[in-house]
Amino acid sequence: MNRVILLLILLASASCSSEKKADGENKNFQFSYELDTVYIDSKGEFLFLNRGLAGSTLTNEDKLYTFNHPKYRIDIIDLDTRELIDTIKFEKEGPTGIGTFGVDMINITDSGELFFSSFTGLRHVDANGILKRSLNWDGDERIQEQLGTGELISFDGIISSDGSKFYGTYSGKGRGGSSMADGLAIIDLNTFELKLIEVPKLAALEEFTITAEIDGMMPMTKGDNFSLLLNDSKIIISQNSINSVSVYDIEKDSLLTYDFQTDLLPDQKPGKFERKVATMEGYEESARARAKEPNFGKFMYDFERQLYYRISFLDQKGILSIFDTDFNLIHEEAGLGDYHGFKFIRDGKIYRFINSNDEMAFEVLTPKINYE
C-alpha cells in the first residue's frame, strides 16, 4: 500500500475590499460583475429538478448531462442552444441496467463513455448506454489487499478524461458520501493499483459535526462536506468547515496546503454551537446556529482567465473569492445574497441552477475583470 503523508503548509493572509468594483489585494486587479438569467427549453419533456441537478456534469462540448430519476434516463442539455437535445434511457437490470439506486454522480470521458456512481458501486457504460462493467471496491480482492483494516473507498469521485483513473477518497470511519474522508484514493482502472494519500485537513470534517442521540430514534448527524476538483495534474481538495485548500500534485507526488483568513472570512467556523444533543429541539437549535457560521465553498476553475473561483457563505449570504493559479487570494467580493445551488464555470462565467416555477434555468454571473 503506497501512502504519501507529505504536507507543506503555506499560510496566506489577504485583505480585500467587499465593495463592487473595488480593488482587491492585487492593486492592478479591477473587478465587477453582471447577472443574467437563461432558461432551458425542455421540448415538452419532463425535467427532474427536485435534487437541484446534484451529480450532473458538463462536457467539453458544453453539454450538461443530468440524471432524471423518475424517468431513469440521462437528459442532455445543450447550453449553446439552451434546450434539451437528447436522452439516454436506462433500465434497472439487463444490458442497460444500472441498478436500483439510480445515479449519484456522472462522469463522462473524452470518448463519450459514462461512469455512474451510486450507493452500490460504480457502473461503466458506453456512449450508447450499454453497460460494460460494474465496479465495487468492497468485493474486489485486488483493492482489498491494498487497504488497511476497516478502510473503505468512496464510489463518488472523478474519472480521468481517458477513463483510466479513478480519483476518490478513503476513510477508516465509513462511507459517507462527501461528508467522510481521511484522504485521497487513486485507482488505476486497468491494473487496479491503488494509491492512498492522507490529507490531514480533512480531519476538520468531524470537528464541526452535530450529532443527535435521541431515545427511540436512530442517531442523526449534520456535518460538513468536502469537494474534489481535477485540474490538469492537480487534485484540489476543499471543505466547508475551514478556509483552506489542499492541492495534490499527481506528477510531483506532493501535497500542499494553503490557509486563508481575510476581512470577510475567518480561518474556520467559530464552532459556537453544541456538537452533542439529546433532543430534537436541541438539534434544530444547534443547526440554526451552525447555519449562521461561515460555510466555505468548492473551488471552480476558469480556464479562460486561469483563475479559481470559490463561493462561500456567511449567515447564508454569498461571498465570491478569486485566486490565481498559485492560490494567492487576489480579490474577495460580498453582496451575492442567497447564492446557493449547483454551480459550474462555462465560457468564463459562473452558472448557478435555479428552479423557476418547475422550469430549468440558470443565473449567470459574468465577471468583468481588468488589469491596470
Beta carbons of 36 and 29 less than 8 angstroms apart:
no
Q: Is the pLDDT of residue 47 over 90?
A: yes
How sure is the predictor about 176, in pLDDT bands with cuts at 50, 70 and 90? confident
Q: At residue 21, does pLDDT exceed 90?
A: no
Q: Which of the pair, 127 or 12, is modelled with greater confidence?
A: 127
The pLDDT value given to residue 177: 75
281: enclosing H helix or E strand: helix 280-291
Rounded Cα distance between 274 and 286, Å, is: 6
More confident residue, 4 or 299: 299
Q: Which of 321, 311, 336, 347 is nearest to 29 (CA)?
A: 321
Q: At a CB cut-off of 8 Å and minimum separation 6, what does 278 contact? A: 212, 213, 214, 215
> Taking 60 as the threshold, does the pLDDT of residue 6 lie above it?
no
pLDDT tens-digit series, residues 293-312: 999 999 999 999 999 999 99
The domain of 258 spans 2-371
Domain count, the chain: 1
What is the arithmetic mean of pLDDT over 147-175?
93
pLDDT of residue 27: 62
- For residue 228, the cross-strand partners are 237
pLDDT in tens, 86-110: 999 998 888 778 888 889 999 999 9
Q: What are phi and psi of 11, to 5 degrees?
A: -95, 130
Alpha-carbon torsion (17, 18, 24, 27), positive or negative: negative
Average pLDDT over the chain, rounded to an integer: 90
Q: At 66, which amino acid appears?
A: T
Highest averaged pLDDT of the listed ranges 158-172, 175-189, 210-224: 158-172
| E strand segments, 44-177 | 57-58, 63-68, 73-78, 83-89, 105-108, 114-118, 121-125, 131-135, 152-153, 158-159, 165-171
pLDDT category at 20 given cuts 50, 70, 90 is very low
pLDDT at 24 over 70: no
> How far lies 173's CA from each of 154, 183, 209, 217, in Å?
12, 12, 14, 21
> What pLDDT was estimated at residue 25?
58
- What pLDDT, on a 0 to 100 scale, did the predictor assign at position 23? 36
Section 166-190 average pLDDT:
91
Most confident of 186-190, 211-215, 221-225, 314-318: 186-190
Give the CA angle between residues 122, 128, 134 to the nearest 5°. 20
Q: What is the pLDDT of residue 16?
A: 32
pLDDT in tens, 256-268: 999 999 999 999 9
Share of the chain above pLDDT 90, in %: 77
How many other β-carbons are positioned within 10 Å of the β-carbon of residue 287?
A: 16
In the predicted model, what is the mean pLDDT of residues 168-174? 91
* Statement: the pTM of the whole predicted model exceeds 0.85: yes
Name residues whose C-beta falls within 8 Å of residue 141's C-beta, 6 or more positions apart in sequence. none
- Return the C-alpha cell found at 110: 473524452
| pLDDT score, position 26 | 63
CATH number of the domain enclosing 155:
2.120.10.30
Q: What proportion of the chain, given as a percentage, has pLDDT over 70?
A: 93
pLDDT above 60 (res 12)? no
Side-chain half-sphere exposure of 2, counting CA atoms within 13 A: 7
Asked whether residue 19 carries a pLDDT value surpassing 80, the answer given is no
